[in-house]
Amino acid sequence: MPARARCLIGAWHPRIETWELLCWIKQVLDEYVELPLTLRQIFYILVGRHAYEKTERAYERLCETLNKARRAKVVDMDSVRDDGFKNEIPNFFGSADHFLDAVRVSARLLRLDRQAGQARRLALRRDLASRFSVTLITLLRDEHPGAID
């Protein structure tokens, strides 16, 4: 199987069936605009609402269509959540001194919870109606465990 192209597509001319699928996809994405969906979520919404075929072949068609539509800028890249790949650069150090400098910076930025393990915890509560009203409150760990942990 050839590797999937990763570059943008200048001119894309999908078939009529593909445009119909894209219209359904856009309806789903417009409805969930505040919540980016995964391909799998879009697939199951299409299966439930538009009687889209629930097969591996149909899922692959959806994936390929969305891949091309995103690369052709027909569908916004950020409207679909890509959870499968995370690009992380590992930490490398050029020398022992470089490593020690990184440890010193981390130690300087370290912040500890000074109230951990105490029976009471102090917190500030701000009244949303007033920009200046701030109240100091004391929370008991036993009474409000969800608000403290």
126: pLDDT strictly greater than 80: no
Q: Is the pLDDT of residue 146 over 50?
A: no
Using alpha carbons, list the distances in angstroms from residue 70 to 14, 102, 128.
13, 39, 41
Segment 112-120 shows an average pLDDT of 79
State residue 43's pLDDT score: 94
pLDDT value at 141 more than 60: no
CA–CA dist 24, 47 (Å, integer): 11
Which residue(s) pair with 136 in the sheet?
124
pLDDT at 58: 94
Q: State the alpha helices, DSSP H only, in the chain.
A: 16-31, 39-50, 56-71, 96-109, 145-148
137 vs 10, higher pLDDT: 10
Residue carrying structure tokens 């969305």: 66
Tokens 């097969």 — which residue?
55
Per the prediction, the chain carries an average pLDDT of 79
**149 pLDDT above the threshold of 60:** no
Tell me the pLDDT band of 12, cut-offs 50, 70 and 90: confident
- Taking residue 96's Cβ as centre, other Cβ atoms within 10 Å add up to 8
In angstroms, the CA 27 to CA 19 distance is 12
pLDDT in tens, 61-101: 999 999 888 888 888 888 888 776 566 677 788 899 998 99
The reported pLDDT for the residue numbered 2 is 52
Is residue 137 within 8 Å of 120, Cβ to Cβ? no
Tokens linked to 103: 């440890």
- The pLDDT tens digits for 33-65 are 777 888 899 999 999 988 899 999 999 999 999
- The Cα-based distances of 139 to 13, 119, 120 in angstroms read 62, 9, 6
CA nearest neighbour of 141 among 124, 122, 114: 122
**Is this model's pTM higher than 0.85 or not?**
no
Question: Which residue's entry shows tokens 């470089």?
Answer: 98
